[in-house]
């Protein structure tokens, strides 16, 4: 029997008996803790054959692995979200003591994921959002410069400043170009919208935003605490109309119902944001959201295939699965 340094000795095994060889390989690997390369040398066979023997030992029940602790709840919830909904990726964080602490943790996770998914030449779209803006403090420049472009997906003018916009910060940290939309997301009339879109830079910015490869967005609710109502973009009467028409949430101020279908509204032709079909065509949509009030909107977005990656917390994930 070889020692754990993997010396070139050979265990006495009947190589003409595949079952005996399989058991010997399993013992050396799982019980004695040898690497597959060391097992191969010990048995005088190839490493490829060791791999196949170990796989067969698992299939036939010769080896039975027992994990004595349950899967951490966040990972369990990630797996369940991917099983229940048409998601490519789910990132679930442990819910913190306060909502603010949870939002900060979500911001950190979002910043890390953003740095993971950007690639040279990509178009990164960002929607202004309370949650997405929490990435700001956690953005750090990569060790190697990655050339890409940042695009605003909706008009970003909200009063004098927009505390929920993160696009300029991303462009600054990564030292890449930004194509802004420095106009209101909702204007007074359709004629005003047409006038704004006559500006070549605005029209070009929207055209390029439609070509985004990845989009990080928040999700809006239709409850009393809606950010759009707080900002004065919509009135409470308009929010009541939304609910009457079956809207449960919005993405870039385009509203949808519980199945993720667009809800047509009187002010749609006054919006300076991506069209509904443009949003649906973005190849990778990352939604960042937490809170019980966001569950109906998240369910609609998930059912409608409006989300490829979900970043949320454990309490929100549990609520989503309970209402799926």
Quote the domain boundaries for residue 44: 1-66
Instruction: Report pLDDT for 164.
Output: 77
| pLDDT per residue as tens digits for the range 168-187 | 999 999 999 999 999 999 89
Give the C-alpha distances (Å, rounded to integers) separating 288 from 8, 35, 65, 90, 291: 54, 41, 36, 10, 11
Instruction: Report pLDDT for 2.
Output: 43
Sort strands 249-251 and 254-256 into parallel, antiparallel or unpaired.
antiparallel
Rg (CA), the chain: 26
133 with 168, same domain: the answer is yes
| pLDDT per residue as tens digits for the range 226-281 | 777 777 788 888 888 999 999 999 999 999 999 999 999 999 999 999 999 999 99
Find the CATH number of the domain harbouring 289.
Answer: 3.40.50.1360
Number of folded domains that form the chain? 2
194 with 85, same domain: the answer is yes
17 with 116, same domain: the answer is no
- Taking a C-beta distance cutoff of 8 angstroms, is the pair 282, 259 a contact? no
137 with 219, same domain: the answer is yes
The domain boundary residue, chosen from 9, 33, 66: 66
4 with 144, same domain: the answer is no
| pLDDT per residue as tens digits for the range 72-81 | 788 899 999 9
């Amino acid at each position: 029997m070889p020692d754990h340094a993997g010396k070139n000795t050979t265990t006495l095994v009947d190589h003409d008996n595949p079952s005996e060889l399989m058991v010997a390989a399993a013992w050396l690997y799982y019980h004695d803790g040898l690497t597959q390369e060391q097992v191969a040398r010990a048995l005088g066979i190839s490493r490829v054959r060791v791999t196949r023997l170990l796989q067969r030992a698992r299939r036939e029940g010769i080896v039975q692995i027992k994990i004595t602790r349950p899967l951490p709840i966040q990972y369990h919830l990630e797996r369940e979200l991917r099983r229940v909904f048409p998601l490519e990726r789910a990132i679930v964080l442990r819910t913190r003591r306060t909502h603010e602490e949870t939002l900060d943790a979500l911001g950190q996770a979002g910043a890390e994921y953003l740095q993971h998914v950007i690639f040279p030449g990509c178009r990164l779209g960002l929607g202004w959002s309370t949650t997405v803006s929490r990435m700001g403090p956690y953005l750090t420049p990569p060790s190697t410069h990655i050339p890409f472009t940042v695009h605003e997906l909706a008009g970003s003018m909200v009063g004098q400043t927009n505390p929920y916009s993160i696009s300029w910060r991303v462009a600054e940290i990564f030292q890449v170009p930004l194509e802004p939309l420095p106009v209101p997301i909702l204007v007074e009339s359709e004629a005003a919208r047409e006038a704004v879109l006559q500006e070549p830079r605005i029209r070009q910015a929207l055209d390029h935003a439609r070509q985004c490869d990845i989009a990080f967005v928040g999700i809006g609710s239709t409850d009393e605490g809606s950010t759009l109502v707080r900002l004065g973009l919509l009135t409470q009467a308009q929010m009541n109309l939304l609910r009457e028409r079956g809207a449960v949430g919005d993405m870039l101020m385009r509203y949808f119902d519980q199945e993720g279908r667009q809800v047509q509204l009187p002010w749609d032709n006054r919006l300076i944001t991506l069209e509904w079909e443009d949003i649906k065509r973005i190849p990778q949509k990352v939604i960042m959201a937490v809170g019980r009030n966001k569950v109906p909107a998240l369910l609609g977005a998930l059912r409608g295939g409006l989300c490829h990656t979900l970043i949320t917390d454990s309490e929100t994930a549990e609520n989503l699965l309970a209402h799926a």
